[in-house]
A = this chain, B = another copy of it.
């Protein structure tokens, strides 16, 4: 239940790559992050460090190591978002949404979609309160 709050940029990117692949050798992760122009050994080192901390795990497949994430994406999201909300919005998620709306980050079509989602969530919440 405890995904650490201190995920670096690269670490998160690596996790995302692993979430997408399920299981992947170092080379594949490296390829997925090609945009960053990092050395293969950098990725390997990072993966090893992350394994020490329990963020990922590996199994051997002949020559290669196959890595997989040990964290649930939803959990990581919850932690990171929760952290941000705590630090920036006094722990009130609604303030975050408010910020998004005010900052005009969401366009008209999306607003429409959002309204439906909210209504949905409302129904769900109402039902759950039984």
Docked complex: A48-96 residues within 8 A CB-CB of B: 74, 76-78, 80-82, 84-85, 87-89, 93-94, 96
Per a CB cutoff under 8 Å, which of B80, B108, B114, B120 touches A129?
B108
Chain B residues whose CB sits within 8 angstroms of the CB of A81 once the complex forms: 84, 88, 96, 99-100, 103
A121 touches B101 (CB 8 A): yes
How extensive is the interface on chain A, given as a class? 35 or more
A106 touches B84 (CB 8 A): no
A108 touches B126 (CB 8 A): yes
Closest to A85 in B: B105
Chain B residues whose CB sits within 8 angstroms of the CB of A88 once the complex forms: 12, 76-77, 80-81
